[in-house]
Chain A
Amino acid sequence: MSTWAYDGTAMFGRQLRRMRNNPGLLVLTQTMPVSMLLFFGYVFGSALAVPGAEYRSFLVPGLLVATASGGVMTGMFQSAQDVHRGVTDRLRTLPVSRAAVPVGQAAADVVVTAAGTVPFLLVGLAVGWRVEGSALGAVGAVALLLLFRFACVWIGIFLGLLTRNEEAAGQLGGATFLLPLLSSAYIPTEGLPDGLRTVAEWNPISAVATALRDLFGNAPVPEGAAWPVAHPVAGSLGWCAVLLAVFVPLAVRQYARGKR
């Protein structure tokens, strides 16, 4: 096995072990999207009309993507914590490939996200969400979701290495909660004023949410949307490619550079 793959596997194992040692946090991160599904689904849902879909069927894919975008926060928090506590420096004094540490972290995060999707979708099924398209489409939807999560974690890793401070990362991480609010994660963008609609539709979360709804067969692609939403699968893949092309090299470089 090549050096970085071996080191990456070791770092991947570390992340998983780390989360297993802290089960409370895992439960907490799972509770959040489920309670949002129930809250949004039943409280807002009664006041919201979505063209061509049930609101809760519309909401489930949206919440999946909104939760995936939280990878920015988790990635940022974990890497800032590692820098702050000196774990990053310890690893940097070891003969470890420079890419291995962030790669292991991002990969472990995707695995945990994939596992977390299962209980969430079970609750989704309980509130009336169904796979209304093909099985292949559903598999594609999950794959796209995980790819998006992977891209988001890399943004977070870069920002965490940049801020180097757990508390700052926590504060900044809270702000990432706002990102899905200006997208089609929770609401259809058709009703928004023109300028706001454009901004929301160029939010990568909108493209991925629309792609998931399309692939699961939950809601049609909206008419007259901006390009990434009008072509949601291509748009989502494009967004992920751009984010990874920008943030993977930035994160690896920042990791190699260290504190100063």
Chain B
Amino acid sequence: MHAFIRLVARDVRLTLREGGAVSTALGFYLVVVAILPLGLGPDLNLLSRIAPGVLWVALLLAALLSVERIFHNDLEDGTLEVIALGPLPLELVAAAKALAHWISIGLPLVIAAPILALLLNLPANAFWILLLTMVTGTPAISFLGSVGAALTLGLRRGGLLLALLVLPLYVPVLVFGISAMNAVITGPASFLSSYLILCALTLATVVLAPIAAAAALRLSLA
């Protein structure tokens, strides 16, 4: 457990120290959300109706930008080899690194979402739901992303392939995240049923994704 926490702390510190990843993700999120109303025109009703979808899709894309870095830098400078010989099994290494990605990239994006929601005229009663569903759903984004990152490890320009691999896997999270929000904004569907499925998706991903990612890591270490 001690080593696990150390590894998470190291990855978070590295991401913050290298700086680029967090600000790029936040900047991308801002630009995508800000550009959409310009394209769609100033129809406030339309904007508030599509706000949940736009906020979620843009968040997915912004998080995807940095998913590749989860393992890539460590493979390139050899630290992955040393980590692999450490006390943690590769499954826990993958979990720690995905968790660190969520803390350093996922959480800042979640915190930015309500601010960007102002641009889209999101109904006032939906702000807390936005935060809640995103905090619940974003771990799944980081953990699923870690599988894609491990699979495309060592490929030149693997980023695009990574997006192709991972984006379809994000669909359930997207669907239930948005439907939980729409249940509150427009009704009459139940918020709880969608939200609980979102929770289940995240929990299942957190358990299963590290196993898949570790299998892929073993291949790229060989």
Chain A bound to chain B: no
